[in-house]
Amino acid sequence: MLRDGYAAVTSRSVEAEAGLKLHYHFGTLDDLFIAVVRRRGESNVGLLEDALASPDPIRAWWRLASERRGNALLVELSAAANHRPALRAEVATFAREVRRMQLEALDSLLDDYGIDRKVFPPALVAASLQGLAFASAYDLVAGFDTAQVEASEAMNRLLDRLEKRRGARRKA
């Protein structure tokens, strides 16, 4: 999937590559995709949980969100979900769950970071961070070259400042 794109995942290519009978073990192709989403999604929920509970939650979240392989996979799965309603529903479930976790975490974290929730409510922060990471990954996967490196370096510096501020505030 990462090598050739989701469209290259056909019953024949899977059987050739994996050396087993797809329809015997998984049922339909949809079932295969859904199994992938479920596996990956559950592991991701776990990782996000850890990140949000870590000592520098937003930085950890950002690191997770900008992770390259995971994002490439997400891009492919989202594209595949375009033509597979069942898959789309499964992806939607995880997207909602992940966003819910982020909003809940931010709700108590924003004050720690000294972020004014009137100006930057959780929904905006979450959507921006995740959107920046996703769009950067998208452009990278597609080879668009839209100054993602510069942006992500600036983001890392911004996170340094934020985490430092949080550290200072929590000490006080």
**Binding interface with DNA (CB under 7 A):** 9-13, 15, 19-21, 23-25, 28-30
- In the chain, the amino acid numbered 56 is D
Cα 70 from chain centre: 7
H or E, element range at 12: helix 11-18
Q: Identify the residue among 25, 39, 83, 169 touching a copy of itself (CB under 8 A).
A: 83
24 binds, among DNA, a copy of itself, none (CB under 5 to 8 A by kind): DNA
Find where tokens 């033509």 sit.
83
CB of 51 to a copy of itself, least distance (A): 18
Which residues, at least 6 apart from 10, have a Cβ–Cβ distance to it below 8 Å?
A: 29
Q: Are 22 and 14 in contact (CB under 8 A)?
A: yes
Residue among 21, 25, 161, 169 that touches a copy of itself (CB under 8 A): 161
Which span (21-29, 39-47, 49-57, 82-90) binds a copy of itself, by CB under 8 A?
A: 82-90
Query: Distance (Å, rounded) from C-alpha 31 to C-alpha 34?
Result: 5
* Residue 30 contact partner, candidates a copy of itself, DNA, none, CB within 5 to 8 A by sort of partner: DNA
What are the two backbone dihedrals, phi and then psi, of residue 39, each rounded to the nearest 5 degrees? -60, -55
Residue 65 is a binding residue for a copy of itself (CB under 8 A): no
Phi then psi for residue 132, to 5 deg, are: -60, -45
* Cα–Cα distance for residue pair 57/166, rounded to 1 Å: 10
Query: CB under 5 to 8 A by kind: which of DNA, a copy of itself, none does 96 bind?
Result: a copy of itself
Span 129-158, contacts to a copy of itself by CB under 8 A: 130-136, 138-139, 142-148, 150-151, 154-155, 157-158
Q: How far is the CB of 168 from DNA (least distance, A)?
A: 55
Question: Do 134 and 140 contact (CB within 8 A), yes or no?
Answer: no
- Chain residues that interact with a copy of itself, rule: CB under 8 A: 5-7, 78-79, 81-83, 88, 91-92, 95-96, 99, 103, 119-121, 123-124, 126-128, 130-136, 138-139, 142-148, 150-151, 154-155, 157-158, 161
